[in-house]
Amino acid sequence: MSMPASEPTARDVPSLPAARWATRTHFFCSGFLFATWGVHIPTVKAHYEIGEGALGLALLAAGIGALLGLSRAGTLVGRFGAKGVALVCGVASAAMLGLLLILPGYAGLLAALAVFGGASSIFDVAINAEASELERRQARPIMSHFHAMFSLGGMAGAAIGSLLLGWQVDAMSHLVGVAVAGALAIGAACLQMLPPEQAGEDAGFSLPRGALLLLGVLAALGLISEGAMYDWSVLYLQNELGSPQDQAALAYASFSGAMALARFAGDWVRSRTSPATLMRASAALSAAAMALVLLVGHPGVALVGFAFVGVGLGNVVPVLFSAAAHVPGTSPAHGIAAVSSVGYLGFMAGPPLIGVLAQGSSLTAALFVVVLFTAVLAGLSRRALPR
């Protein structure tokens, strides 16, 4: 009669390879969906006939949705499990992408982006909680590898978007096609996720303090910089340097591809280098590369420089999320959600801040925010992370 108690464990062990592939798929899809949105930011701007300030407000709507989603993400994952939450929110984020050019008027755009931000943020916490559990079971660093799949998805989404723009494929067909394919892939991957554990006591959401707050501040600095690359790098090449949109889309691909390579190597580096040293060196590289891009102002230099910015920022979020998942006294989902909530405050404030600065001066001047914040991130890393 002892067999029922041991049967779940026996089923779990063979499922680990499948669960790893499912988590890789989720991160890849998340990056692909986000990149497709990034490539079509100029399309959305032109479709709704809005300026950079209004575009910044639209990005703010996505940030507000993300912040609201993060306030409930830990509770939802704790109550329903990462598997169910990833399914609902992953499919919802894909659906919102497909609606971006269909909903009428600027108000419809704001609503779609708010839902997109909320669903994407909860999906992000769910798949990071799954990645943290897989990392715990394997007892070795693998978080960077999963985040590399996000960047690989971003590179693929940007490259395909650039190719389709060059072929003059209808933007609405592209967005709807990616949304359908993404929803199907996410749904299929959810079938292979680890079975949900028995729900424990739900402490609900609370503002982070102490170690979680400091990790969240670093996440905010990193996500402002990373978000600026996602949201403004294509426009920088197109508007500031005069590149055609299909070539400007390569800015996103260059950044995401280099970030993917850095993250694939990140677990090897993390096993041999302290988190503080890795963070400090990475952030300093991003600051130097971004400064060079903005000071030179040449498309070729920008593409190479964006790649080095991607290398520098590649392991910031994996290191911070892994640290958040292991803070004593909190579950991985709540730790990741708490750090993400502070990080997304920065992610929310960053795009409109850059939009307002660009409106008042130029996008080139506004993007020096990335140089400033990555330099501060390098300075704070020793205090927040173990050596």
Amino acid 162: pLDDT: 84
Percent of the chain clearing pLDDT 70 (strictly above): 92
Ranges 149-163, 294-308, 313-327, 337-351, most confident:
294-308
Amino acid 334: pLDDT: 79
Amino acid 74: pLDDT: 81
Mean pLDDT computed over 342-369 = 82
Amino acid 112: pLDDT: 95
Give residue-wise pLDDT tens across range 83-114. Answer: 999 999 999 999 999 999 998 889 999 999 99
Residue 12 has pLDDT above 80, yes or no: no
pTM value is 0.77
Give residue-wise pLDDT tens across range 231-251. Answer: 788 889 988 998 887 788 788
Amino acid 312: pLDDT: 94
Residue 207 CA to residue 344 CA, distance in Å, equals 13
All domains of the chain, ordered by start, with CATH?
Answer: 18-194+208-384 (1.20.1250.20)
Among 117-131, 144-158, 179-193, the range scoring the smallest mean pLDDT is 144-158
Structural tokens at position 216:
């969240």
Between residues 334 and 193, the one the model is more confident about: 193
Mapped to the 3 state alphabet, what secondary structure does the chain carry? CCHHHHHHHHHHHHHHHHHHHHHHHHHHHHHHHHHHHHHCHHHHHHHCCCCHHHHHHHHHHHHHHHHHHHHHHHHHHHHHHHHHHHHHHHHHHHHHHHCCCCCCHHHHHHHHHHHHHHHHHHHHHHHHHHHHHHHHHHCCCCHHHHHHHHHHHHHHHHHHHHHHHHCCCCHHHHHHHHHHHHHHHHHHHHCCCCCCCCCCCCCCCCCCCHHHHHHHHHHHHHHHHHHHHHHHHHHHHHHHCCCCHHHHCHHHHHHHHHHHHHHHHHHHHHCCCCHHHHHHHHHHHHHHHHHHHHHHCCHHHHHHHHHHHHHHHCCHHHHHHHHHHCCCCCCHHHHHHHHHHHHHHHHHHHHHHHHHHHHHCCHHHHCHHHHHHHHHHHHHHHHHCCC
Residue 164 has pLDDT above 70, yes or no: yes
Amino acid 207: pLDDT: 63
Amino acid 308: pLDDT: 96
On average, the pLDDT of the chain sits at 86
Residue 10 has pLDDT above 50, yes or no: no
